[in-house]
Copies of this chain bind each other. A is one copy, B any other.
């Protein structure tokens, strides 16, 4: 899409936004100082918007203002799902979102976000930083789009989702109108689920009118903020479809390559810290939200039945390879991730899983 065409098609939140896009879309060079524009798929008010602001503030400060990043949150300059378009067209030099938001641009990129029955957050970070993950994602998903990828956050474990009626068997999945983006949705489709894709703002209205029978969202804290408990009460775990989801920072590859090494380091470390902060914040706030949902809002916490966990897991092993096989990049990325996952199955069992099972033996009381 040409830039002019792109600007016409974009829904600018305000005249100021449009003006900024026109006057600032080319990185400004003044005494060796760069001014970038970043567009985010997330709202300004939430923890993701705040984390992005702090990242930009840090980059400016630690680069001695050699690189300033002006942030436009969702809808302020372009629509949430247009962040990649904005960077590709040169309107912005950086974007922030979740890799599966760009599935329309790349057949392999959803695998970077999360894989059903795949990696936990700690394993995803191990994959990214020391398992060749960033390099693999760049080579087989981002670079072909003219982008450079860095992890810039993680939701941690997600919840399984909200269902109007209880579900127990694979038969219950058939005909269900359910919102689930990404690879999890592909698996549900194979069971005859009517998978619906809806932007976040339309989820609660669709649940209310009965246009959908259920939805997954993120985890207890963001789900509570969205008010889903007001119309649906059955809340399932675990989030097999998104055991953890990487949030992506992406950069115009040509602009990235022009950066001095020390500026790259500021972005690399600043992004790794933001990744740590976002994951830690989700981890810290989810439990009290879970308590409130159950105790104050009458939410019923339900475990996916063993039958469902087993049947969906087995189906994942045929559906995901099928999706991956749609492109050479998809195949390579899928193989890269499941190979890393294979190495994690033992270690995470003997360490994290066995410890979590063991620690309930200690019931500490304050002194």
Q: Could you tell me if A303 and B354 are in contact, using CB atoms closer than 8 angstroms?
A: yes
A31 within 8 A of B: no
- In the bound complex, do residue B304 and residue A358 qualify as a contact, i.e. CB atoms below 8 Å apart? yes
Q: Contact at B354–A238, with CB atoms within 8 Å?
A: yes
Q: Write out the residue numbers on chain B whose beta carbons fall within 8 Å of the beta carbon of A118.
A: 359
**What is the CA–CA distance of A25 and B326 in the complex, to the nearest angstrom?**
62
Contacts A280-B126, A366-B335; is A351 near B238 (CB within 8 Å)?
Answer: yes
Cα separation A345 to B358 with both chains bound (whole Å): 12
- CB contacts (< 8 Å) of A243 on chain B: these are 355, 359
CB–CB B354/A125 < 8 A: no
CA distance A281 to B348 in the complex (A): 14
Within A341-367, the residues touching B (CB, 8 Å) are 341-367
Kindly list chain B residues whose C-beta atoms are within 8 Å of the C-beta of A64. 64
B contact residues around A325 at 8 Å (CB) = 367
| Beta-carbon contact of A62 and B265 below 8 Å | yes
Tell whether A11 is near chain B: CB-to-CB under 8 Å.
no
Q: Which residues of B contact A122 (CB under 8 A)?
A: 121-122, 156, 279-280, 283
Binds B, one of A83-91, A206-214, A270-278: A270-278
Which interface class (under 10, 10 to 19, 20 to 34, 35 or more) fits A? 35 or more
A279 cross-chain contacts in B, Cβ below 8 A: 122, 125
> Which of A15-23, A139-147, A196-204, A284-292 lies at the binding interface?
A284-292
Binds B, one of A98-106, A166-174, A246-254, A315-323: A315-323
Chain B residues contacting A128 (CB-CB under 8 Å) are 280
Given known A-B contacts A122-B279, A243-B359, A361-B310, A334 and B367 have beta carbons under 8 A apart? yes
Q: How many copies does the complex hold?
A: 2
Q: Does A338 contact B (CB under 8 A)?
A: yes
A186 CB contacts on chain B under 8 angstroms: none
- A265 contact set on B, CB distance < 8 A: 58, 61-62
CA distance A117 to B355 in the complex (A): 8
Residues of B within 8 A of A131 (CB): 284
Map CB proximity to B onto A289-302 as digits: 1 under 8 Å, 0 otherwise. 01100000000010
Give CA–CA (A121, B355) in the complex, Å.
Answer: 12
Most interface-central of A281, A290, A324, A352 (chain B CB within 10 A): A352
A3 at the interface (CB under 8 A from B): no
How near does chain B come to A216, taking the closest CB pair, in angstroms? Answer: 13
CA distance A273 to B363 in the complex (A): 33
Knowing A122-B283, A273-B272, A356-B352, the reply to whether A290 touches B366 (Cβ < 8 A) is: no
In order of increasing CB-CB distance, the 4 nearest A-B pairs are A313-B361, A157-B351, A117-B362, A287-B347
